[in-house]
Amino acid sequence: MQGPEDRPVESTWAELREAQTMTLSAPNTGMAVTIDIGEADNIHPTNKQDVGIRLALPALAKVYGFKGLVHSGPVFRSLHRSKGRIRVEFDHVAGGLVVRGGALKGFAVAGKDRKFVWAEAKIVGDCVEVWSDDVPQPAAVRYAWSDNPPCTLYNASELPASPFRTDSWPGITK
């Protein structure tokens, strides 16, 4: 079991995070992922220092021109399907992908039936390979797609991966 639910469920919080991530397509924008810092029952994390550091990183890199500064955790780039598995590629791997907090968790896959199940995942170079024996032909993958998801995927600079989904299926808010 990956999260508090036996099966992945739709989440308004995940959809809100997706909307925030979409702003990165606008010029001169940055984002700090802090999903791993806060508390499940409080939208305002008590750990303000780490939030401030993560917010400063994109400003230093994009506004003040600090070259070579790692300012983002892994961000979904693309996927490739092969032999019942999905290989997910990321931008901002910054020296490689790493797992924090034990096993790689928080990934779910669905077939064309749109029924998500928790998936197995492993790091392969700068990618993550995702699969489930319950979904022989996965059509979509999601990561950290719940209200309070497990977040265990980071880059070597200890910045967490952004939650994402590869489908555009209607959720709660659409």
> Mean pLDDT in the chain?
93
Where are the chain's structural domains? 12-165
Do strands 85-91 and 127-131 pair parallel, antiparallel, or not at all (unpaired)? antiparallel
Q: Phi first, then psi: what are they for 102, rounded to 5°? A: 100, -130
Q: How confident is the model at residue 155 (pLDDT cuts 50, 70, 90)?
A: very high
Per-residue pLDDT tens digits for 32-82: 999 999 888 888 889 999 999 999 999 999 999 999 999 999 999 999 999
The H or E element spanning position 64 is none
CB neighbour list of residue 154: distance below 8 Å, 6 or more residues apart: 73, 74, 97, 98, 99, 100, 160, 161
Question: Could you count the other beta carbons within 10 Å of the beta carbon of residue 14?
Answer: 24
Question: Computed from CA positions of residues 151, 156, 162, 167, in that sequence, does the dihedral angle turn out positive or negative?
Answer: negative
pLDDT > 90? residue 4: no
Nearest to 146 by CA among 120, 99, 108: 108
Do strands 140-143 and 85-91 pair parallel, antiparallel, or not at all (unpaired)? unpaired
The H or E element spanning position 16 is helix 12-22
Q: How confident is the model at residue 5 (pLDDT cuts 50, 70, 90)?
A: low
